[in-house]
Structure 1
């Protein structure tokens, strides 16, 4: 079993690297705010370890490591220990207006492509997906909207600058676009492919990131709801 501190230099997929050919040094950013965020989440109990998420913006600039690690998930809870008396999570389907967790892609222009490679630990399997971001999505990211924000207690001008990716067993990657006070809207759904190198680009002797006892127990009892995502 791998420890939490296992770290491997996993690099970037060759296809992403090829996209940089002919890249220009001119860098004109078209977004009307400082940065947009790339966030991730997974369905309850369907634990995921993101090896890397890399971004190519509309200026053909590559941003490696725009995402990695454990995405947001409802269950198991962060401080959960052992197997609960009752499983309260519902992994089937997608939550409404998901948020996820991640980081700001500082310095990048609007996204053209997101590459993500992740371990679906409950299966276990290693997947990768190339997510093309439509121009219609970038237009929404540029557009301001006036909305009442409960956090501020007033009407504010907000932008859809949160790109949210849900990762599910079977290699499914679904994308939403939202704002801090704006409801998320669906962008696209991608069927990822199995990465033949396996976990950590083949550098871990086939060992995956550890699976919690709670999630393992849930899957042993109820299985994985393939087809619901």
Structure 2
């Protein structure tokens, strides 16, 4: 056998081993990270960085606005969290193993204030994400083996962050609730001279009339 042929076989075997090792930890192609906020309590995510179980760091796995509902006429209900939170606004963390820690820095626009927090993901959460369950999907009328492949983080004023795991056809499971700290550097790590992003007119109108329901999250 020539050396090139042996090298090809070695690379194929090596990649096969890596794929098996990865699939043993992750029973689907990628997991999703999403963010939401209570009605009118707008936030801007400066960065959400992920450290996976292999120690790989995925910086800015998510940034920008969190999912939010701001119905007109102050008809929304920002107090507390929904019984069944949605997937939030986010994206799949492609190529990553299951998460070990998620670091989030965000602006709470109704206050305004800048918060930062490192959320340690317990092994029990990863077990939930690995576990396949029989589920009925109403969208296509089929029973499938589904996984809670998504993590959604709710961000609320006062620096509250709450984490759930959920799947396309499986109900959410609450993982943890953590308290963030104020980032003393301010927005954009001090690069904006203390200026936060603007609050929308509809959120401003709600807060001016009803205030911020601290303590409900």
TM-score, normalization by structure 2: 0.88
Distance in 2, Cα, partners of 1:134 & 1:181: 23
Q: Greater share of helix residues, 1 or 2?
A: 2
Partner Cα separation in structure 2 for residue 97 and residue 155 of structure 1: 20
Inter-partner Cα distance in structure 2 for 1:175 and 1:34: 21
Aligned pair 1:62/2:50, yes or no? no
Within the candidate set 34, 37, 42, 2:32 is matched to 37
Equivalent residue number for residue 129 of structure 2: 141
Aligned match of 1:74: 69
> Highest CA radius of gyration, 1 or 2?
2
Residue 175 of structure 1 corresponds to which residue in structure 2? 163
Partner of 1:124: 112
Pick one of 177, 180, 200 that aligns with 1:189: 177
Gaps of 5+ in 1: 1-25, 77-83
Q: Is 1:151 equivalent to 2:148 in the alignment?
A: no
Q: Quick one: distance in 2 between partners of 1:144 and 1:197?
A: 43
Aligned length: 196
Q: Is the 8 A contact 1:52 1:65 kept in 2?
A: yes
Q: What is the alpha-carbon distance in structure 2 between the residues aligned to residue 96 and residue 70 of structure 1? A: 22
Structure 2: gaps spanning 5 or more residues: 1-17
Deviation >6 Å, runs of 4+: none
Q: Distance in 2 between matches of 1:101 and 1:143?
A: 24
1:90 to 77, 82, 89: 77
Structure 1 contact 97–185 (Cα < 8 Å) conserved: no
Higher relative contact order (CA 8 A, sep 6+): 1
Partner SS for 2:206? helix
Q: CA deviation at 1:176?
A: 0.3
